[in-house]
Amino acid sequence: MEREFIMIKPDGVQRNLVGEVISRIEKVGFKILAMKFHKVTMDQAEKHYAIHKERPFYEGLLEYITSGPVVSMIVEGKEAVKITRKLVGATNPVDAEPGSIRGDYALEIGRNIIHAADTPENAIMEYQIYFNDNEIQSYERIDEDWIYE
């Protein structure tokens, strides 16, 4: 099993899409191991987006991601990162397939509803910014035999 970090961004929260996004994540079969509704601190934002520090959009990204509440999650499932990336859609909603979260609900790259880590290694690094080990639950879903072969 693989873990993935997902964040419903401030625009997703403000547009009342939290339930829709969580529903899609659950319906695909992922197990939610941790979830919190919180405001990203500047320190967390700087750690999370450090890879973009030299990019011209960096300051605006920090301002945006700390501008309002978000919902952060750790989900688990087989090939969770790869499947989540398809579920979420391309970073630029113009390129996102209809049926993906961004393809259905976003119009601009700077307001694209959701973040998902792009590799299993980045997922771990990212969720460790927002969650302590004692906040992550481990359990078996009663329907796992119907999800996995």
What domains can be seen in the chain, in order of their start residue?
A: 2-137 (3.30.70.141)
Contact of 32 with 109, CB cutoff 8 Å: no
Give the SS3 label for residue 124: helix
| Residue 75 backbone phi and psi in degrees, to 5 | -120, 160
The per-residue pLDDT for 117 is 97
β-partners of residue 114 are: 8
Encoding tokens for residue 140? 């078996």
Q: How far apart are CA 67 and CA 10, in angstroms?
A: 7
Note whether 116 and 75 are within 8 A (CB). Answer: no
Note the pLDDT of residue 63.
96
Q: What per-residue confidence (pLDDT) applies to 9? A: 98
pLDDT score recorded for residue 1: 94
- Dist. CA 4–CA 122, nearest whole Å: 9
The whole-model pTM stands at 0.94
Q: Which residues pair with 73 in a beta bridge?
A: 6, 35
As beta bridge partners, residue 71 has: 8, 37
pLDDT value at residue 31: 97
Per residue of the chain (149 residues), what is the pLDDT tens digit?
A: 999 999 999 999 999 999 999 999 999 999 999 999 999 999 999 999 998 999 999 999 999 999 999 999 999 999 999 999 999 999 999 999 999 999 999 999 999 999 999 999 999 999 999 999 999 999 999 999 999 99
Which amino acid appears at position 11 of this protein? D
What is the per-residue burial (b if ≥16 Cβ within 10 Å, else e) of 139-149?
eebeeeeeeee
Exactly one of 38, 48, 52, 115 is catalytic; name it.
115
Max Cα distance, the chain (Å) = 47
Q: Is 48 a catalytic residue?
A: no
Q: What is the pLDDT of residue 141?
A: 92
